Amino acid sequence: MATPDALRYTRFPLRHGSGAIPAVGFGTLIPDPVATKQAVKAALEVGFRQFDCAERYRNEEAVGDAMQEAFKTGRIRREEVFVSTKLWNSNHRPERVEPAFEASRRRLRLDYVDCYLIHTPFAFQPGEEQDPRDEQGKVIYDSGVTLVDTWRALERLVDGGRCKSIGLSDVTLGKVREIVAAARIKPAVVQVESHPYLPEWELLDFCREHGIVLLAFAALGHGLSPKVLDDPVITTIARRVNKTPAQVALAWAVQRGTAFLTTATTPRYIQENFDISALPEDAMREIRDRVTTRVRFNPVVESGVPGFIPRA
Ligand SMILES: NC(=O)c1ccc[n+]([C@@H]2O[C@H](COP(=O)([O-])OP(=O)(O)OC[C@H]3O[C@@H](n4cnc5c(N)ncnc54)[C@H](OP(=O)(O)O)[C@@H]3O)[C@@H](O)[C@H]2O)c1
């Protein structure tokens, strides 16, 4: 058995705001609110202290309920938990940003949000419809607002105090550069798909240079094929260090300097994903040099349209 170590408690300092983000994070992209609440409660119980939410996931209330129940027990304090949520594409117009943020904050039942991210750089037709389409079924984008306009509105949220830090999601390096160049308050976090099949080294180098935390979503490859967890380099290391392939992929994520998000509804996986331990340096090198498959599972970065859309 590998000896437990401090890797799971790693925290990365943020440029501004909430001090530091726990590297080990739990995502709440779970379609069913009952399952969401159960999973969040279980994740808090095993030790997760970083949670990723979004208005788009339509389950912020369930996350808020689970957290309130945990806070009421007195075993976990609000200040110990880092909660992010995200502005959806149909709310990019500056006048829609604060109402959208406040609605998320209320649904989450929190006095403040640790990080607010622009979910994607794509502005959709403003309004209540999250998925606006024309007669041909094509997404209706909004050309009347730029990403910088939306960013300025997020900066004002930080000034207001209920939003501790801000960031971007589903962005290319080019977009991150654009915002870093224009920003008064620089992004604290950039959330993108990243796992051994999509390491995003160039983006990670840029983030490091600018003191931005890269938060890797789908850290296990979304559970899709080709399966990261079946990769022979990963499975061989797992056998060698007496850990599961998931624990190897997650340890790799933290050791190379990214925070990560996984989602599990299976209780055993929730526990497993928190119980990570540091990998030997040779294993880190093997993953970097010998895993050669390259796959982006989530096309959202090209269109702003997520693959999975929970229905109300
Ligand atoms: N910014 C964005 O646009 C964006 C897009 C996608 C996701 N995200 C965020 O990232 C989070 C994570 O994404 P994801 O759900 O794709 O993550 P993921 O952890 O890569 O994949 C989740 C899948 O892996 C399975 N799994 C979890 N732990 C496992 C383990 N130890 N062994 C084997 N299988 C395991 C889960 O199974 P079970 O559910 O059956 O337990 C589930 O099917 C989301 O919840 C969301 O917060 C953000």
Q: What average pLDDT score do residues 233-252 get?
A: 98
Q: Is the CB of 304 under 6 A from ligand 1?
A: no
- Across the range 115-121, mean pLDDT stands at 97
CB of 114 closer than 6 angstroms to any ligand 1 atom = no
> What's the confidence (pLDDT) of residue 194?
98
pLDDT at residue 243 in the model: 98
CB under 8 Å to 121, separation ≥6 — which residues?
147, 168, 170, 171, 175, 304
Question: Is 57 considered catalytic here?
Answer: yes
Task: Assess whether the C-beta atom of 171 lies below 6 angstroms from ligand 1.
Answer: no
* Model confidence pLDDT, tens digit, residues 56-108: 999 999 999 999 999 999 999 999 999 999 999 999 999 999 999 999 999 99
- pLDDT band for position 222 (50/70/90)? very high
Ligand 1 centroid distance, CA of 52 (Å): 11
Mean pLDDT of the chain: 95
Q: What is the pLDDT of residue 188?
A: 97
Q: How buried is 191 (Cβ within 10 angstroms: 0-12 exposed, 13-18 middle, 19+ buried)?
A: buried
Residue nearest to atom 17 of ligand 1 (CA): 218
Looking at residue 168, its pLDDT comes to: 98
Q: 142, 170, 143, 148: which is closest to 302 by C-alpha?
A: 170
The pLDDT value given to residue 310: 46
Separation CA 129–CA 132 (nearest Å): 6
Ligand 1 contacts CB of residue 196 (under 6 A):
no
What is the position in ligand 1's atom list of the atom closest to the CA of 53?
47
Residue 307 reports pLDDT greater than 70: no
Residue 29 Cβ inside 6 Å of ligand 1? The answer reads yes
- pLDDT tens per residue, range 245-258: 999 999 999 999 99
pLDDT tens-digit series, residues 39-49: 999 999 999 99
User: What per-residue confidence (pLDDT) applies to 270?
Assistant: 98
Q: Quote the ligand 1 centre to 41 CA distance (angstroms).
A: 16
Q: Which atom of ligand 1 is nearest the CA belonging to 262?
A: 19
